[in-house]
Amino acid sequence: MDKKTIIKDFETHVSAGKAAFYKKYGMDFVMGKREGSWLYDIEGQKRLFNCHSNGGVFNLGHRHPEIIESLRSALDDLDIGNHHLMSQERAVLAKQLTDSMPSDLDVCIFSVGGGEAVDLALKIALGHTGRPKIISATGGYHGHTGLALSVGDAQYREPFGIGLTDMEQVPFNDIAALEAALDDHVAAVILETIPATLGMVMPEPGYLEQVSALCDKNGTLLIMDEVQSGLGRTGKLWAFDHAGITPDMVVIGKGLSGGIYPIAATIIREPLDAIFRSNPFIHISTFGGSELGCRVGQKVMHISTDEAFLQRVQAAGIKLREGLKTLRRKYPKFFTGIRQSGLMIGLELRDEYSGPALTKAAYDQDLLMIYANNDTSISQFLPPLTITDSEITLVMGKLDQAFNSARKIRTALVTKEKAGNFMKRFSGRDDGKA
Ligand SMILES: Cc1ncc(COP(=O)(O)O)c(C=O)c1O
């Protein structure tokens, strides 16, 4: 099929809004071949280095050969499986995941995607505690499904009239605000260990430890959303490992798929399993924990738990930081700060126009970079964990060029804004009121 037809069909049958957005910004990329850190346009004339990894889906790059092989061999003898029956593949992956977590985080329930896994965690919290209220972080993001949507940013739920009546958002890193919000109505606090959509906000030293202690004191469950931060992204397997806390539930997704087969999971502490012991069929996900996905997940865990792999992530993080610091010195007005834990990185930019400007400028330099949707002054920088030293050098060179032109694009966006014609968000309105 020729590219023009694909774009036309996409526009008509998939998303007119996205097609219009990309057209406006001269980004007519259609995914074709993909390999390692690179995505190629379907007509092969352009390629993009993936500096976003789809929030961690492509932690191991695109089509990692061992992941492909795990799925290929699974197809020789497995299918999706049957959630009514017992399964070796689920048991093996569940054991790998729970063994990698502290204390009695011993039970693993599979889902298809992160939102579904968050929904389940919240459902368990409400059911187990008998309390009605959930606390989350202002500007946090946990997915677009039911309960997950309810505890997320208002901009995604209000247009649909959806919301848990009993929920409250408190600023991340504000322990006093959390303390004030906690009472005996609060079933759970849910936090991304590093809120990504909010702009890679790093937890301040001691914050997560205090959150955990306050939750314990209040009989409130602590749910850590590791959908983006987990599986080695920060140089430790789980980002909450840096704080040494034991959450009551952990949600994982994205990278567990190896970028090849959707799978997500909610890991819960053993006592929270009570409701499923008395009624094992009260929660069902037909495709959740597909046996094919479990085989892929097993391989992802095998690769990601390797100490040498995690050390390499740390080393790549240090090398990238050196490069970023140099660029910061070169563009001090535009590139104002670095938020970083391993390869979970946020680039602090001049203002809200700068994230979109850098996304466009980076695209022109063959880098796929996405700004944080809930703080467009931050550019998310999440390269594959497999990034090599020579790729880091290449990316830094391209980023240098991108910063150079992003400054001009920013000025143009400011002018457009004044004319009421600038769209900040990928998924918002195009009339300046996004
Ligand atoms: C931190 C976090 N939690 C949950 C989700 C939802 O995952 P999914 O899109 O697979 O439903 C996302 C997706 O971006 C996420 O970033």
The per-residue pLDDT for range 92-145, each reduced to its tens digit, is 999 999 999 999 999 999 999 999 999 999 999 999 999 999 999 999 999 999
Over residues 229-239, the mean pLDDT reads 98
- Gap from CA of 431 to ligand 1 centroid (Å): 27
pTM beyond cutoff 0.75: yes
The atom number, within ligand 1, closest to the CA of 145 reads: 11
- In this structure, what is the dihedral angle of CA atoms 115, 120, 123, 125, given to the nearest 10 degrees? -110
Q: pLDDT category, 428, cuts 50, 70, 90? A: very low
- Gap from CA of 256 to ligand 1 centroid (Å): 12
The yes-or-no verdict on residue 302 having pLDDT over 60 is yes
**pLDDT value of position 405:** 97
Q: How many helices (H) and strands (E) does the chain have?
A: 14, 15
The yes-or-no verdict on residue 31 having pLDDT over 60 is yes
Q: Which is more confident, 340 or 166?
A: 340
Task: Give the relative orientation of helices 389-418 and 307-330 as an angle to the nearest 10 degrees.
Answer: 50
Q: Residue with the nearest Cα to atom 2 of ligand 1? A: 142
**pLDDT value of position 423:** 56
The atom number, within ligand 1, closest to the CA of 192 reads: 1
Q: Residue with the nearest Cα to atom 13 of ligand 1? A: 143
The yes-or-no verdict on residue 424 having pLDDT over 80 is no
The yes-or-no verdict on residue 23 having pLDDT over 90 is yes
Ligand 1 proximal residues by C-beta, below 6 Å = 55, 113-115, 118, 141-143, 192, 196, 225, 227-228, 253
Lowest mean pLDDT, pick from 200-209, 327-336, 377-386, 420-429: 420-429
The yes-or-no verdict on residue 235 having pLDDT over 70 is yes
- Gap from CA of 278 to ligand 1 centroid (Å): 30
**pLDDT value of position 421:** 61
The atom number, within ligand 1, closest to the CA of 140 reads: 1
Q: Would the CA dihedral through 144, 147, 153, 154 be positive or negative?
A: positive
Q: Residue with the nearest Cα to atom 8 of ligand 1? A: 114
Question: Which DSSP symbol is given to 45?
Answer: S
Q: Which residues contact 150 (CB under 8 A, 6 or more apart)?
A: 134, 157, 162, 163, 164, 167
Whole-angstrom Cα distance, residue 111 to residue 294? Answer: 11
The yes-or-no verdict on residue 430 having pLDDT over 50 is no
CA angle 372, 378, 382 (to 5 degrees): 70
Hey, where are the domains in the chain? Answer: 3-58+307-418, 65-304
**Which pLDDT tens digit goes with each residue over 168-219?**
999 999 999 999 999 999 999 999 999 999 999 999 999 999 999 999 999 9
- Gap from CA of 191 to ligand 1 centroid (Å): 12
**Mean pLDDT of the chain, nearest integer:** 94
Over residues 346-364, the mean pLDDT reads 97
Whole-angstrom Cα distance, residue 198 to residue 344? Answer: 13
- Gap from CA of 327 to ligand 1 centroid (Å): 30
Q: pLDDT category, 422, cuts 50, 70, 90? A: low
The yes-or-no verdict on residue 52 having pLDDT over 70 is yes
Pick the CATH number of 65-304 from 1.20.1440.120, 3.30.1360.120, 3.40.640.10, 3.40.50.720: 3.40.640.10
- Gap from CA of 181 to ligand 1 centroid (Å): 25
Find out whether 405 and 361 touch, Cβ atoms under 8 Å: yes
- Gap from CA of 333 to ligand 1 centroid (Å): 32
Pocket test for ligand 1, best of 112, 122, 142, 374 (most atoms within 8 A of CB): 142
Q: pLDDT category, 418, cuts 50, 70, 90? A: confident
Instruction: Give the fold, CATH level 3, of 3-58+307-418.
Output: Aspartate Aminotransferase, domain 1 (3.90.1150)
Q: Which is more confident, 430 or 383?
A: 383
**pLDDT value of position 163:** 74
Q: pLDDT category, 432, cuts 50, 70, 90? A: very low
- Gap from CA of 143 to ligand 1 centroid (Å): 5
